[in-house]
Copies of this chain bind each other. A is one copy, B any other.
Amino acid sequence: MDDQKLIQEKIAQATDILREFDIDVWLTFVRETPLSPDPVLDFILGQHVTWHSAFLISRQGQHTAIVGHYDAENVRNLGAYNQIVGYHQGIGDHLRAALDTLQPREIAINYSTSDVAADGLSHGMYLTLHQILRDTPHAGRLMSAENIIGALRGRKSPTEVARMREAIAITQELFDEVENFARPGMTQRQIASFVRQRIDEMDLGYAWDQQYNPIVTCGPQSAIGHAMPGDVVLEKGHTLHLDLGVKRYGYCSDLQRMWYVLKDGETSAPADVQRAFNVVRGAIKASEQALKPGTPGWQVDEIARDYVTDNGYPEYMHALGHLLGRSAHDGATVLGPRWEKYAVICERLVEVGNVFTLELHVPVPGRGIMSLEEDVLVTANGIEYLSQPQTELRFIRP
């Protein structure tokens, strides 16, 4: 995969974002990144560095990397920085000199209380930076880069969208394989093991911890949420639900699919199961209308949530959607209700280039849960499905 191209795209995008937000310099400050990774490095470096290292991106398009001399050659080969300093003794003088040249009014650095993806600066490194900038005017110009990073992560470049399409397509193929594999009498564990084996055979990554990936839910006893697939047996007349995300070339899918396990003689699902499917699919479909650039996240969630409760089902106790990308929960904006825990992030506006999940569930008493999840790209006019949405209930045959 051409990570060089991806990083050049994202650094150019970061420069545009600095202009848009009227911020002079964005500084990423790291050390020994294998042990202490800043999640933003995937977008602006794509490799590890050992000694204290600084990556400065300015609104004027000056891109400076200050790294240990051992790492300079590899950063040079990246072709994304127009000034590369490989130092021998210490980073302090070089960093101060670079800032003196740029004379920034603001220096955005990677900390955030609300967005973990924008919080890659450790507290120790924050103290070190203050030490280096002590007695300079730069010390008073530090600010959070959370808005820059939120936009940079959230607005997918063409290369990023292409990688996600591939991860999603593979995930859909895996669901087809599960449908051929799963039979009544199997345990959740057997189904999950089958999926993991296929993921490993295809040399894919996991979009989240493989202990909980895939989540396999079947029948009314299955726990919902971040639980490990256990010994519950897939039974006729129950639902089967998978929540699966793979990682391909660093980018994630995150999809949920639903099956009904046909009883002997059945050719379709009973009314309660079918109705639950229709409502979940209907709620996702209804939310599509609202998912447009400029809409606050909570408005999108509200439409789906109201659709569910208007149809007599209990509301889902989570957000309708989250950003997807490098990680399964990728960045700030959430399509969620205005609960305390989503207070700030569900006010954020949907942007062109965002990739969101749309996901919700309702219970089907005595049968299990009904839960779907799609992945969609926000365009200037609305959305484009990156997944092939599940519009019909699927079946596991005896």
Contacts and interface: CB of A to CB of B under 8 A. Distances in A.
Interface of A: 31-32, 34-37, 39, 47-48, 50, 70-71, 73-74, 89-90, 111-114, 116-128, 131, 208-209, 211, 225-228, 327-329, 340-341
Determine chain A's interface SS by DSSP, over half rule. loop
A36 B39 contact: yes
Given A48-B208, A118-B124, 20 more contacts: A31-B116, A32-B116, A36-B116, A36-B120, A37-B37, A48-B209, A70-B227, A73-B227, A74-B211, A74-B228, A90-B340, A111-B122, A113-B125, A113-B128, A114-B124, A116-B122, A121-B123, A122-B122, A123-B123, A123-B125
A65 to B, nearest CB: 15
A341 B124 CA distance: 16
A175 to B, nearest CB: 23
A122 B119 contact: yes
A329 B32 contact: yes
A209 to B, nearest CB: 5
B48 A39 contact: no
Nearest to A228: B74
Contact of A327 (B34, B120, B211, B340): B34
Contact of A126 (B31, B70, B74, B123): B123
A209 B47 CA distance: 8
A320 to B, nearest CB: 18
A73 B90 CA distance: 46
Top 3 nearest A-B pairs by Cβ distance?
A119-B124, A111-B123, A70-B226
A7 to B, nearest CB: 15
Contacts of A127: 111, 113
8 contacts: A34-B209, A35-B329, A70-B226, A113-B125, A118-B124, A119-B122, A121-B122, A123-B125
Contact of A71 (B48, B226, B341): B226
Nearest to A121: B123
A64 B343 CA distance: 28
Nearest to A327: B35
A213 B341 CA distance: 43
Nearest to A208: B34
Residue from A122, A228, A327 whose CB has the most chain B CB atoms within 10 Å: A122
Residue from A36, A48, A121, A131 whose CB has the most chain B CB atoms within 10 Å: A36
